[in-house]
Amino acid sequence: MSNRFYVTTPIYYVNAEPHLGHAYTTIAADVLSRFYRISGFETFFLTGTDEHGEKIVRAARASGESPGQYVDRISGLFRDMWPRLSISNDAFIRTTDEKHIKTVQAILSAVKENGDIYFSEYEGPYCFGCERFLTEREIVNGRCPDHQTEPEMIKEANYFFKMGRYQDWLTGHIHDNPDFIRPERYRNEVLSFLKEPLGDLCISRPKSRLTWGIPLPFDDGFVTYVWFDALINYLSAIDYPGGMRYETFWNVANHVVAKDILKPHGIYWPCMLKAAGIPPYRHLNVHGYWNVNEGKMSKSLGNVVRPLDLASVYGLDAFRYFLMRDMVFGLDSEFSEEALVGRINADLANDLGNLVSRSLTMLKNYLKGEPPLCGVTEKPDDEVREAALASIGIYASQMKELAFHKALMTVWEVIGKLNKYIDTMAPWVLAKSDRGRLSTVLYHISEALKIVSALIWPVMPGTAERIQEMLGIRNRGISFTLEDAAGWGARETEIQMTITPALFPRIEKGKHPGEKKKTEVRGKDSEMETRDKTSVPDKPRADVKPDKNIDEKAGPDLISIKDFARADLRIGKVKDAEPVPGSRKLMRLIVDLGPELGGERTIVAGILGAYEKEALLGRQVVVVANLEPAKLMGVESRGMVLAASDSNGLHLITADTAAEPGSKIK
């Protein structure tokens, strides 16, 4: 295949407003389009709206509008939403467009002339939600499984497409092209359908029942069945027949759809194309459902989530990342706001956000914004370079297979290696002892970050471009290709690195981002700090009375082993650090204490001025984990970080080698 890529979403039925299911399909197509663009492919990305049929008439009547007014309004909601979700489609098609209507009628005429359309009377179970007759095998417990309604028996005369004529051809084509429908489970599902006689497809509705549709070119008393109309959008949008876009893109067409419309796309559409003498599309890519309250997300069932609400609360790129990371393409996934917040805090705030913050802060502070230079490398440097460069090819292979979650896991492996590399190399120490080595370490960090920024761009374009701006990369976003990212060390001169606020602030449990916290101030800094169970005191606290259980024989300055054992000392890993507003000494730390103790918790420590943020991130500390919570300057602290104090200042106590967060100190 040539270096061209054509990706489509379904054209969305405008019987209700957009929901999370629409957003996922469109973002998935957008991610593919962006990936192929930075891979050097000529790309065309299509989306749009499906605006004919009985459900549209019913919805318009319910809203007090004409069908034309109604579809204009709802189609506008879809069109307006996509830029707000960073969707980069090249075209937006409507089935009410004159160009589309003419293309549908031309294909109907061609299929009729080929002898594949006939007129007949038919009676059978009809689902108004699906807008089609159902076969007996499709009905579950007397109901349509998608809409949970009982189909009605309808008898009427209509035009039919001889779809059964192409059953053997379609079966053979799927066997000969194993990736025609993917993932494999949906290929097998279509082949299972094809084991039974396919039958013919009713492609019209009498105007006595429905007038809102495209008139048949050979009988003005009928309008076109909505699926025969809608599927042709993939051709009309690229100027079929004979248009340059059709000649350029049709043989690399990739449809992205949800599994509820597998049958129309996997069976009706290839047969229609064959009957019209048009080659089949390249791939049908089928994803699962987002489930809410243990049911498929559906407008007709009412369990919808508004995507713009989520994006506005939690951030657009965070929302896009969650959708791509948490759904395995092809399988169902359960949506919850709790899972979204957990993913933001763990992957974006802790891993990516901290990496970028600490890296750019060190580049700015230690090198004054000048690009780092690479000196003699050591084994850890080479390992970082090799891992980052290797990730590009692995990521690309996974993206081509629509394994979005795996591709992101590949990127996060690099992010994890970089965070570990920083912890091991300790640039804050090198800044005082070996400036040449410091520059080499920062060089490897910045070059690897360049690769990370390119790999996350299809999913999080805004975040990627901010990182690229901070790194001083002139060609950003779509102009910074995977080939550019692979050019390790091919940097422009006179790079000016800048610092911006945190990419992904942590979200406190039970609070939405941006929600103001109540601050309770009861005294001066010094007064607060002497009451702080989590700060490092300058002298013993005079207000603490001796415990009655202390062994009297041990003497006034001694405690028994029993009393010492009451302190639950654990290894913690600092995930975030920031000054407490209004305090001269307090820092708010997010410390990971491992799964046994519930993961991360907030600890306030009196170490501001002794340690900079970048020196704390990723650092292992010793924590007294079973202290009662205390509120300091309005921030609840749940533990104490231990440090030693002498004439040279404070010294955090740590393990001499890496230990798992939550490890007990004995």
- 315-325 in b/e form (b: 16+ CB < 10 A) is bbbbbbbbbbb
* 384-420 confidence digits (pLDDT tens): 999 999 999 999 999 999 999 999 999 999 999 999 9
DSSP 521-567: --S-HHHHHHT-TTS--SS--TTPPPPTTS-GGG-TT---HHHHTTS
Residue 294 lies in a domain: yes
What share of the chain has pLDDT > 90, as a percent?
A: 62
Instruction: Mark whether 19 and 106 lie in a shared domain.
Output: yes
Which of 433, 461, 485 is the C-terminal boundary of a domain?
485
Residue 278 lies in a domain: yes
Domain that holds residue 570: 525-652
Dist. CA 663–CA 646, nearest whole Å: 27
Dist. CA 30–CA 87, nearest whole Å: 6
Instruction: Mark whether 97 and 168 lie in a shared domain.
Output: yes
HSE-CB of 242 using CA atoms within 13 angstroms: 2
Instruction: Mark whether 203 and 105 lie in a shared domain.
Output: yes
Instruction: Mark whether 468 and 583 lie in a shared domain.
Output: no
Residue in 55, 299, 444, 585 annotated catalytic: 299
Instruction: Mark whether 49 and 141 lie in a shared domain.
Output: yes
Q: For residue 264, which of 4, 13, 5, 6 has the smallest C-alpha distance? A: 13
202 is catalytic: no
Tokens 């992101």 belong to 408
Give 526's pLDDT tier (boundaries 50, 70, 90). very low
Instruction: Mark whether 274 and 411 lie in a shared domain.
Output: no
- 557-586 in b/e form (b: 16+ CB < 10 A) is eebeeeeeeeeebbbbbbbbbbebeebebb
Number of domains in the chain: 3
* 473-525 confidence digits (pLDDT tens): 889 999 999 999 999 988 653 445 555 567 888 887 655 555 533 333 223 33
Which of 280, 313, 346 is the C-terminal boundary of a domain?
313
Residue in 55, 100, 112, 130 annotated catalytic: 130
Residue 491 lies in a domain: no
271 is catalytic: no
Residue 492 lies in a domain: no
At 528 the pLDDT is 27
CA distances from 318 to 281, 287, 312, 416, 663 (A): 33, 21, 10, 18, 31
- Which of 31-45, 589-603, 631-645 reaches the highest mean pLDDT? 31-45
Dist. CA 179–CA 182, nearest whole Å: 6
Instruction: Mark whether 372 and 470 lie in a shared domain.
Output: yes
Q: Give me the chain's average pLDDT, please.
A: 86
Dist. CA 562–CA 363, nearest whole Å: 48
374 is catalytic: no
Residue 564 region by backbone torsions, left for phi larger than 0, else alpha for psi between -120 and 50, else beta = alpha
At 535 the pLDDT is 31
Which of 485, 509, 541 is the C-terminal boundary of a domain?
485
HSE-CB of 278 using CA atoms within 13 angstroms: 26
Dist. CA 662–CA 339, nearest whole Å: 23
283 is catalytic: no
Residue in 112, 127, 444, 585 annotated catalytic: 127
Query: Taking the chain, what is the end-to-end CA distance rounded to the nearest angstrom?
Result: 63
> 617 burial class (0-12, 13-18, 19+ CB within 10 angstroms)?
buried
At 213 the pLDDT is 96
Residue in 147, 207, 364, 613 annotated catalytic: 147
pTM: 0.75
Instruction: Mark whether 413 and 549 lie in a shared domain.
Output: no
Instruction: Mark whether 479 and 539 lie in a shared domain.
Output: no
Comparing 500 with 255, the larger pLDDT belongs to 255
DSSP annotation of 639 reads S
At 491 the pLDDT is 63
Residue in 100, 144, 259, 287 annotated catalytic: 144
DSSP annotation of 138 reads G
Residue 326 lies in a domain: no
At 300 the pLDDT is 43
Given a contact cutoff of 8 angstroms between Cβ atoms, the answer to whether 314 and 283 are in contact is no
What's the 3-state SS for 249-284?
A: HHHHEEEEEEHHHHHHHHHHHHHHHHHCCCCCCCEE
Given a contact cutoff of 8 angstroms between Cβ atoms, the answer to whether 599 and 633 are in contact is no
Instruction: Mark whether 355 and 221 lie in a shared domain.
Output: no
Given a contact cutoff of 8 angstroms between Cβ atoms, the answer to whether 392 and 451 are in contact is yes
At 412 the pLDDT is 97
With vertex at residue 467, the alpha carbon angle to CA 327 and CA 424, rounded to the nearest 5 degrees, is 85
Given a contact cutoff of 8 angstroms between Cβ atoms, the answer to whether 256 and 287 are in contact is yes
Residue 328 lies in a domain: no
HSE-CB of 540 using CA atoms within 13 angstroms: 5
Residue in 296, 444, 575, 585 annotated catalytic: 296
As a whole number, mean pLDDT of residues 131-151 equals: 80
With vertex at residue 461, the alpha carbon angle to CA 457 and CA 465, rounded to the nearest 5 degrees, is 90
144 is catalytic: yes
Instruction: Mark whether 553 and 646 lie in a shared domain.
Output: yes
Tokens 């942590």 belong to 506
Comparing 559 with 381, the larger pLDDT belongs to 381
> 152 burial class (0-12, 13-18, 19+ CB within 10 angstroms)?
exposed
Computed on alpha carbons and rounded to an integer, the radius of gyration of the chain in Å comes to: 31
Domain with residue 179: its CATH number is 3.40.50.620
Residue 282 has pLDDT above 70, yes or no: yes
Domain with residue 392: its CATH number is 1.10.730.10
Residue 663 lies in a domain: no
DSSP 423-478: HHH-HHHHHHH-HHHHHHHHHHHHHHHHHHHHHHTTT-HHHHHHHHHHTT-SS-GG
* 41-70 confidence digits (pLDDT tens): 999 999 999 999 988 999 999 999 999 999
Instruction: Mark whether 308 and 341 lie in a shared domain.
Output: no
* 179-231 confidence digits (pLDDT tens): 999 999 999 999 999 999 998 999 999 999 899 999 999 999 999 999 999 99
As a whole number, mean pLDDT of residues 12-32 equals: 91
Domain with residue 583: its CATH number is 2.40.50.140
Given a contact cutoff of 8 angstroms between Cβ atoms, the answer to whether 45 and 89 are in contact is yes
- 515-526 in b/e form (b: 16+ CB < 10 A) is eeeeeeeeeebe
130 is catalytic: yes
What share of the chain has pLDDT > 70, as a percent?
A: 88
Dist. CA 167–CA 530, nearest whole Å: 81
Given a contact cutoff of 8 angstroms between Cβ atoms, the answer to whether 307 and 23 are in contact is yes
Residue in 19, 52, 444, 573 annotated catalytic: 19
Residue 185 lies in a domain: yes
Dist. CA 414–CA 384, nearest whole Å: 8
Range in 91-105, 404-418, 534-548 the model is least confident about: 534-548
